[in-house]
Amino acid sequence: MNRTDRTHALRLLVAWAVLSVIGVFIALQVHLPPGDQSTQSVDETSLLDLMLVISTPVFIGVVLFILYSAFAFRQTGAVLEDGPPNHGNFRLQVAWVAITAVIVLLLAVIGISGLSNSAAATTFASSQATLGTVGSAGTASGHRLQVQVIGQQWWFTYRYPDFGGVESAHLMLPVDTNIEFHVTSTDVLHSFWAYQLGVKADANPGVDNITYVSTVNTGSFEVRCAELCGIWHGHMADPNGQVVSQADFATWIAQVQKDDVGISLPPYSPIYFPHPPVKGS
Ligand SMILES: [Cu+2]
């Protein structure tokens, strides 16, 4: 490496370091999805934050190198010539492969341990019977609050088997609770997507698809259908999902039980099958 090369390298390194610090600072201010209402969404958000922080210096390094080369090594003479032949740089190649491998392996380890911690946290929390005041669901240790999610053209409705299978048009969940969703459909393929809770699961007729969420913060969330299911698929968005306090949930579910107005469904069952319409009816 001659002196000019060294100057270029030093300039690039300093510019990269300064811009990376600024870039990471900006990246840390960005609020990434999905949110903070469940342990699953908190895990997803922190992993996305980490990936953004790690990838920012890489992105800045690549863009900076391209821009710097375009200006610093631009050919200025009247005659256009090829640059000197490049036979590779062993140290650079080793460093490139090593750094990339370390980043990928680090993310893999963090992702895997996050998944296993999430499962462990669910087991631990449920063994504490955190459901507390939530009706009959609160008494059984290790019990998760069961919520049946039923996709149907053109909305989702929800049943609470722990409370007699009562049906609700909106998804209401108590905070600090382990939830066990049973996702199914009465007609075609849908997909239950509660984005801020960090959960998404296929809703198929005749299938009881189980997925878990542990609520940690109150707030409202949106439920969408994430599977093209027919002409009013786009109508299947409900911004009125809520994680509420356990007391509010108990009041709400008691009211739903009292009103007991079925919305659209056949009697409660773990799964449903579509039936053809009856002629003349
Ligand atoms: Cu749909």
Dist. CA 190 → ligand 1 center (Å): 5
Residue 187: which H helix or E strand, with range? Answer: none
What is the pLDDT, as a whole number, of residue 264?
62
Residue 126 vs residues 113, 132, 134, 217: alpha-carbon distances, Å: 20, 11, 13, 17
Q: Give DSSP secondary structure letters for 31-58.
A: --SS-SSBHHHHHHHHHHHHHHHHHHHH
Dist. CA 44 → ligand 1 center (Å): 24
pLDDT per position as a tens digit, 56-83: 999 999 999 999 999 988 888 778 878 7
Dist. CA 232 → ligand 1 center (Å): 7
What is the pLDDT, as a whole number, of residue 119?
59
228, two tokens: 């093209």
Dist. CA 259 → ligand 1 center (Å): 29
β-partners of residue 82 are none
Q: Which of 95, 231, 38 is nearest to 153 (CA)?
A: 231
Dist. CA 156 → ligand 1 center (Å): 10
Fold classification of 135-259 is Immunoglobulin-like (2.60.40)
Q: pTM for the complete prediction?
A: 0.74
- Contacts of 221 by beta carbon, 8 Å cutoff, 6+ apart: 35, 37, 171, 194, 195, 196, 197, 241, 242, 243
Q: What is the DSSP letter of 268?
A: P
pLDDT per position as a tens digit, 91-145: 989 998 999 999 999 989 988 887 776 655 544 444 433 343 343 343 334 679 9
What is the pLDDT, as a whole number, of residue 188?
92
Dist. CA 48 → ligand 1 center (Å): 27
What is the pLDDT, as a whole number, of residue 99?
92
CA angle 5/9/11 to nearest 5° reads 115
Dist. CA 166 → ligand 1 center (Å): 23
β-partners of residue 179 are 145, 213
In order along its 281 residues, the chain shows pLDDT tens digits of: 677 888 999 999 999 999 999 999 999 888 888 888 898 888 888 888 889 999 999 999 999 999 999 998 888 877 887 877 888 889 989 998 999 999 999 989 988 887 776 655 544 444 433 343 343 343 334 679 999 999 998 899 999 999 988 889 999 999 999 999 999 999 899 999 998 998 999 999 999 999 999 999 999 999 999 999 999 999 999 999 999 999 999 999 999 888 876 666 777 888 888 777 777 65
Q: Which of 270, 159, 277 is nearest to 206 (CA)?
A: 270
What is the pLDDT, as a whole number, of residue 128?
39
Dist. CA 162 → ligand 1 center (Å): 27
What is the pLDDT, as a whole number, of residue 228?
94
Dist. CA 53 → ligand 1 center (Å): 34
Residue 177: which H helix or E strand, with range? Answer: none
Q: Which of 157, 206, 159 is nearest to 184 (CA)?
A: 206
Dist. CA 151 → ligand 1 center (Å): 8
Dist. CA 233 → ligand 1 center (Å): 4
Q: Which of 22, 35, 20 is nearest to 243 (CA)?
A: 35
Dist. CA 227 → ligand 1 center (Å): 5
What is the pLDDT, as a whole number, of residue 118?
62
User: Do the strands 178-185 and 145-152 form a parallel or antiparallel pair, or are they unpaired?
Assistant: parallel
Dist. CA 189 → ligand 1 center (Å): 7
Dist. CA 237 → ligand 1 center (Å): 9
What is the pLDDT, as a whole number, of residue 251?
94
Dist. CA 76 → ligand 1 center (Å): 59
User: Do the strands 219-225 and 237-244 form a parallel or antiparallel pair, or are they unpaired?
Assistant: antiparallel
Dist. CA 250 → ligand 1 center (Å): 31
172, two tokens: 């209401």
Residue 255 vs residues 133, 142, 163, 266: alpha-carbon distances, Å: 16, 26, 11, 21
What's the sign of the alpha-carbon dihedral 122, 126, 131, 135?
positive
The span from the CA of 197 to the CA of 238, in Å, is: 14
User: Do the strands 199-203 and 190-194 form a parallel or antiparallel pair, or are they unpaired?
Assistant: antiparallel
What is the pLDDT, as a whole number, of residue 126?
43
Residue 273: which H helix or E strand, with range? Answer: none
What is the pLDDT, as a whole number, of residue 110?
87
| Percent composition of the chain: helix, strand, coil (DSSP 3-state, to 5) | 45, 20, 35
Greatest CA separation found in the chain? 91
What is the pLDDT, as a whole number, of residue 113?
84
Dist. CA 234 → ligand 1 center (Å): 7
Dist. CA 173 → ligand 1 center (Å): 22
Dist. CA 32 → ligand 1 center (Å): 25
